[in-house]
């Protein structure tokens, strides 16, 4: 991957703030999206992801801060911004009284495409989103997943340089999700920049080359998925013992680790590095404790998410505190 | 995006969308038609005899000749009322948020709805005139007078449609939009639509003489009976143009607020 600064920025936001009355949605968000990247915006419900997308797509004016899309200021040059973006929001933005084909044709007209180009793109998008058969039915008769696919097809009619996707796979079946992932990868291959929000950390991990984690309206962490995982204490090592004495002795040595009597195992937090594992084994050896087997699980984005937003629902704090020194 | 070709192209696109909606969902158009036709039948058929007697020989022909211009103004108001409802419902649709993110002539959605509303008013007005002819309308107006009447009717419809588009944008619910627009349908009762303002009690009379619908109705009446009065005509046109300018600026301003709906 080239160094961060080598790529020009598609989006640059500094100190974005948005208040709805006394309710703060964004409290000073900084965000950069390099051109040609897939950047995933993740964060708990209500953290401001949709608000960010709505500001960047010129639907809302920020109360403070500024942002540019390809160098065009959102507030000063909204027309220039609109000319290069495409938005598929969290809630469907299709015309329910028209058919799928008419919706795409409406987009083609508003993009002022020549007739031949329009017809070609309409057919191509219907095909790509598997809507050809349903093309001439009113959208009111579409399923939720079909509407989401049509929504994205409409966004792509104008061949935007930046695409915003707010929870694009919410409500899609596994197959629909795979189709969407493939489309995102195809778009990126064509040089399109993508900013997507998602609740599925696995999706961010697979799709994004940069992840921005936001909480309570501000950025809390940013980087490639692997950079973020390194910051997290969330990885685990599971030690299996042959006998109870060994387990008991190890539990004393690693105070606070999660002890499981039924399968004689002990789970400790670790960054998953070889060094970390070696340290654990060294300590066990010094005490003369015999360990039968070991399995390591590196941190995933879930761990990063919970570590940095601090709201893991169940009581695994014991694991979190048993960090290897 | 201020290129006139783009303005026209985008408005035409939005008009197409509006017409498709009207065809797929004709209830709004029909409800805009029912009220004026009912009023025509009610005022001419039921009250017409007595009201005509009250007019004496200040006017010529049957009551239908006197009442048609007022009913036509109500037609424009009634169709525009349906437009307020339609716009309010439409603004809750996600597609509107999408339009706001696109590099199009921004007021084109509204302009399309206004032009659609004017077209529906013309069709409804033609239907009302057809009923009026069946009820014995006689006209002395020449072709040029009729053309002028149609012109004024279109201008009135244009002004009222911008106003009700603004109402549709302003109201939080469709029924709120409807109540606002209902004022326009009721206002002709306090004008020269059904009886001359001279026969009204003093306070009401002052209001009736100065409200915009009275000069518009008087002008239409003069054109249809072939006795146009240029003075009323100027006042009528001035009112329509004034309302259209203020209402369209207001509507665009309301539309340019932060998008109320989430997408
Ligand atoms: N129109 C609005 N009026 C009032 N408050 C709002 C409005 N839109 C958003 N908010 C508030 O702003 C905060 C951020 O909302 P936002 O929709 O951006 O969150 P989100 O990260 O997209 O959440 P989710 O994951 O649930 O989609 C929330 O507290 C929300 O209640
Ligand atoms: Mg959201």
Say yes or no to pLDDT of A321 above 50: no
Tell me the C-alpha distance between A148 and B59, whole Å: 63
Question: In this structure, which residue's CA is closest to atom 29 in ligand 1?
Answer: A46
Q: Which helix (H) or strand (E) holds B133?
A: helix B108-134
Residues of A in Cβ contact (< 8 Å) with B102: 82, 110-111, 158
Question: In this structure, which residue's CA is closest to atom 19 in ligand 1?
Answer: A46
Residue with tokens 């598997």: A130
Name the residue in chain A with its Cα closest to that of B106: A79
Q: Which helix (H) or strand (E) holds A87?
A: strand A85-88
Ligand 1 atom with the smallest distance to the CA of A217 is 14
Residue of B6, B93, B262 with shortest CB distance to A95: B93
Say yes or no to pLDDT of A75 above 50: yes
Confidence of residue A76 (pLDDT cuts 50, 70, 90): very high
pLDDT, tens only, A122-168: 999 999 999 999 999 999 999 988 999 999 999 999 999 999 999 99
The DSSP code sequence of A23-41 is EEEEEEEEEEEETT-EEEE
Q: Is residue A175 within 8 angstroms of chain B, CB to CB?
A: no
Residue extents of the structural domains in chain B: 4-256
How many CB atoms neighbour CB A313 within 10 A?
6
Q: Is residue B8 within 8 angstroms of chain A, CB to CB?
A: no
**Ligand 1 and A144: CB distance under 6 A:** no
pLDDT reported for residue A323: 38
**Ligand 1 and A46: CB distance under 6 A:** yes
Residues of B in Cβ contact (< 8 Å) with A58: 100-101
How many CB atoms neighbour CB A2 within 10 A?
7
Tell me the C-alpha distance between B165 and B188, whole Å: 20
pLDDT reported for residue A161: 96
Residue of A58, A87, A102 with shortest CB distance to B20: A102
Residues of B in Cβ contact (< 8 Å) with A79: 1, 103
Per-residue confidence of chain B (263 residues) as pLDDT tens digits?
468 889 999 999 999 999 999 999 888 888 888 889 999 999 888 888 788 877 777 777 788 888 999 999 999 999 999 999 999 999 988 899 999 999 999 999 999 999 999 999 999 999 999 999 998 888 887 888 999 999 999 999 999 999 999 999 999 998 999 999 999 989 998 888 888 888 888 988 889 889 999 999 999 999 988 776 768 899 999 999 999 999 999 999 999 887 655 54
CA A202 centroid distance within chain = 8
pTM of the model: 0.84
- Half-sphere exposure of residue A156: CA atoms within 13 angstroms, side-chain side: 26
Q: Is the dihedral of CA B116, B122, B127, B132 positive or negative?
A: positive
Say yes or no to pLDDT of A229 above 90: no
């Amino acid at each position: 991957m080239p160094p961060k600064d080598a790529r020009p920025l598609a989006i640059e936001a500094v100190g974005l703030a948005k208040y709805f009355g006394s309710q703060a949605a964004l409290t000073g968000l900084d965000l950069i999206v390099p051109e040609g990247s897939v950047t995933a915006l993740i964060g708990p419900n209500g953290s401001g992801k949709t608000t960010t997308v709505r500001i960047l797509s010129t639907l809302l004016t920020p109360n403070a801060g500024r942002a540019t899309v390809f160098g065009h200021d959102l507030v000063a040059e909204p027309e220039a911004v609109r000319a290069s973006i495409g938005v598929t929001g969290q809630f469907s933005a299709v015309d329910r009284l028209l058919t799928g084909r008419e919706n795409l044709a409406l987009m083609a007209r508003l993009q002022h495409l020549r007739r031949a180009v329009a017809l070609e793109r309409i057919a191509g998008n219907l095909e790509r989103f598997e809507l050809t058969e349903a093309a001439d039915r009113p959208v009111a008769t579409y399923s939720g997943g079909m509407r989401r696919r049509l929504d994205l097809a409409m966004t792509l009619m104008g061949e935007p340089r930046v695409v915003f996707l707010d929870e694009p796979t919410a409500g899609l079946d596994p197959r629909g999700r795979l189709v969407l992932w493939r489309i995102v990868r195809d778009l990126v291959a064509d040089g399109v920049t993508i900013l997507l929000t998602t609740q599925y950390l696995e999706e961010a991990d697979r799709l994004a080359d940069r992840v921005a984690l936001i909480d309570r309206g501000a950025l809390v962490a940013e980087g490639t998925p692997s950079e973020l995982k390194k910051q997290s204490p969330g990885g685990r090592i599971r030690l299996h013992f042959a006998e109870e004495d060994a387990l008991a002795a190890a539990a004393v040595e690693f105070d606070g680790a999660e002890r499981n009597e039924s399968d004689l195992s002990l789970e400790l937090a670790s960054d998953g590095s070889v060094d970390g594992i070696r340290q654990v084994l060294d300590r066990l050896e010094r005490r003369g404790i015999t360990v039968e087997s070991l399995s390591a699980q590196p941190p995933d984005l879930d761990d990063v998410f919970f570590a940095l937003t601090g709201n893991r629902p169940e009581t695994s704090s014991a694991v979190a505190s048993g960090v290897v020194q | 995006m201020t290129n006139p070709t783009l303005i026209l192209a985008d408005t035409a696109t939005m008009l197409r969308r509006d017409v498709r909606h009207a065809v797929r969902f004709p209830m709004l158009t029909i409800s805009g038609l029912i009220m004026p036709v009912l009023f025509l039948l009610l005022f001419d058929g039921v009250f017409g005899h007595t009201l005509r007697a009250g007019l004496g020989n200040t006017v010529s022909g049957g009551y239908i000749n006197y009442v048609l211009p007022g009913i036509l103004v109500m037609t424009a108001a009634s169709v525009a009322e349906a437009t307020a409802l339609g716009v309010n419902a439409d603004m809750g649709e996600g597609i509107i948020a999408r339009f706001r993110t696109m590099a199009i002539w921004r007021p084109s959605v509204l302009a399309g709805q206004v032009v659609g509303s004017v077209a529906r008013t013309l069709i409804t007005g033609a239907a009302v005139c057809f009923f009026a002819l069946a009820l014995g309308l006689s006209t002395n107006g020449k072709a040029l007078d009729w053309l002028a009447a149609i012109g004024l009717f279109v201008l009135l419809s244009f002004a009222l449609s911008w106003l009700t588009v603004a109402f549709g944008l302003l109201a939080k619910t469709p029924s709120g939009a409807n109540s606002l627009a209902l004022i326009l349908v009721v206002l002709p009762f306090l004008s020269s639509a059904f009886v001359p303002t001279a026969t009204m009690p003093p306070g009401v009379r002052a209001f009736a003489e100065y409200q915009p619908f009275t000069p518009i109705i008087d002008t239409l009446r003069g054109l249809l009976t072939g006795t146009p009065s240029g003075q009323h005509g100027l006042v009528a046109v001035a009112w329509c143009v004034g309302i259209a300018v203020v209402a369209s600026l207001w509507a665009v301003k309301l539309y340019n607020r932060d998008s109320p709906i989430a997408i």
